[in-house]
Amino acid sequence: MAQKLAILSISLITVMAGAAISPALGEITGAFPEAGGTLVKLVNTMHAVFIIPFTFVSSWLTKRYSKKAILIPGLLLYIIGGIGGGLAENIWMLLATRAILGISVGLIMPISTSIVSDYYEGNERTSMMGKVSASNQLGGMISMVAAGLLAAVSWRFTFLVYALAVLVFVLVLLFLPRRAPAAYEREGSGGRLDKRIIGLAAAMFAVFVLFYSIPTNMAIYLQENNIAGASLSGVIIAVMMLGGLAGGLLLAKVKHMLQSYTVPVQISLMGTGFSLIAFTSSVLPIAFGVFLMGLGAGTLIPSIYNGVAGVTAGAQVMTAMAIVQSFMYLGQFMSPLVMDSVSTLAGHPTNQFIYSMSGVLTLSIGVILLAVNAIRRYLAAKN
C-alpha cells in the first residue's frame, strides 16, 4: 500500500504543473499590463517547452540510474521552480521560474507513468493507469481550488500550491523502492519502437491542445463575460479535474463495458462539454460542461498511456512514454497559440469562439466515430 501511495503521489503534481495557476491569470495580466494577453498565457504553458527535451533526458538517465535517484532532484527543482514564481518581479523572471518547473516535470513525468509497468501487468496495470490519471486530476482539483482562494488574496500567493511537492518528496524518499536501471531490468529493451507510438503521440497532442484550453482560457473567459471571479473560476476549473478523477477511477469498468465504443464516447463527452461551455452563459451549465470535458479526457488520456505500455516492453517503455509525453506537453504549449491563431484567422478572436469551435469539432468527430463503429459491428455480425 505504501508503495502504491508513493507511485500515485508522483502523479499528483505532474499535470497540475501548468494549470495550477490558471485562476490567477486575470490578476497576473493586471500585474504585468505591458506583457500582453498571449505572453501572460505563456506563463501557463512555458514549462511545456522545457519538459519536452527533459523527458528524453529522463529516459536516458533511467538506463544508468534508478528512477528514485532521478525523482529526488527532480522534485527539488519542482519545489524551487513552482514556489519561486510568486517572487517574480517581472514577466521574464516569472517565465524563468516556469522554465525551471518545466525541467523538473520533464524529469518526473515519464517515470510517473512508466513505473506502473515495472510493478503491474494486465487488468491491474489498466486499473493503476486509471488511478495515475485520477491522481493527476486530484492534484489538479486540489490545486485549482486552493489557487482560486489564494488568487483572491494575491496572485503571488497562488504559487504556494506547489508546496504539495514537499509531501510527495517525503513519500518518494521513504516508500519508493530503489530498483536497477531500466536498461538492465528486463529483456526487450532493444529494437525499434512500434509504429503505433506515432499515432498515440499524435492523439495525445490533439487531446491536450483541446484539453488545455480550459485551464488557459477559462478564468479569462469567465471574467471577461462577467460570469465569475477568480475564486469561482478556480472552483469551475477544478470541476474538470473532478470529472477527470471520476474518469480515471472508472477507466477499467468503462473500457470493459463500452469495448470498441470507448474512444468515440470519450470524444463525444468532450464535445458535449465544450458545447455547454460555449453556448450557455451561466455558472451551472458551464460547470457541468467542464465536468463532462474532464470525464471524457480523464478516460481518454490513460487509455493512450495504456496503449503505449501495451505495445512496448522493458526500457522501451521509458522512450515511448517520453515521446508521447513530449507531444502531450507540446500540445499544452501550442494550445493558446493554435486556438488564438485559428480564432483570429476565422475573424472571431474570442474565447467563446474557441470553445464553440472546439465543441462542434469534437462532437462531430465523436458522432462520426460512433456511427462508423456501429456500422463495422453490424457488418461483422452479418458476416
Residue ranges of alpha helices (H) inside the chain are 2-11, 16-19, 25-31, 37-43, 46-61, 67-84, 91-119, 122-153, 164-175, 196-211, 213-224, 230-258, 262-279, 283-311, 316-345, 351-382
Selection from 100, 105, 97 nearest residue 139 by Cα: 105
CA dist 2 and 249 (Å) reads: 19
* pLDDT higher than 90, residue 301: no
DSSP of 220-252: HHHHHTTS--HHHHHHHHHHHHHHHHHHHHHHH
191: which DSSP letter?
S
Angle of helix 230-258 relative to helix 262-279, nearest 10 degrees, comes to 160
* Whether pTM exceeds 0.85: no
Which of 86-95, 144-153, 318-327 is predicted most confidently? 86-95
Q: What is the mean pLDDT of residues 124-152?
A: 78
Cα of 368 vs its chain's centroid, Å:
26
44: which DSSP letter?
T
User: C-alpha cell of 132?
Assistant: 495515475
Domains recognised in the chain with CATH numbers: 2-382 (1.20.1250.20)
CA dist 381 and 367 (Å) reads: 21
CA dist 267 and 294 (Å) reads: 11
* pLDDT higher than 70, residue 314: no
* pLDDT higher than 50, residue 363: yes
Burial (CB count within 10 angstroms: exposed 0-12, middle 13-18, buried 19+), residue 272: buried
User: Scanning the structure block, which residue is given the C-alpha cell 468532450?
Assistant: 270
Instruction: Write down the pLDDT at residue 81.
Output: 93
Instruction: Write down the pLDDT at residue 254.
Output: 80
Q: What is the mean pLDDT of residues 314-330?
A: 81
- What are 245-295's pLDDT values in tens digits? 888 788 778 887 888 888 899 999 999 999 999 988 888 999 999 999 989
User: C-alpha cell of 92?
Assistant: 521574464
* pLDDT higher than 60, residue 321: yes
Contacts of 51 by beta carbon, 8 Å cutoff, 6+ apart: 102, 103, 105, 106, 109, 325, 326, 329
Q: How confident is the model at residue 230 (pLDDT cuts 50, 70, 90)?
A: low
Q: What percent of the chain stands above pLDDT 70?
A: 93
Instruction: Write down the pLDDT at residue 187.
Output: 43
CA dist 19 and 23 (Å) reads: 9
Mean pLDDT of the chain: 84
Contact 80, 162 (CB under 8 A): no
Query: How many CB atoms sit inside 10 A of residue 341's CB?
Result: 13
* pLDDT higher than 50, residue 117: yes
Contact 274, 362 (CB under 8 A): yes
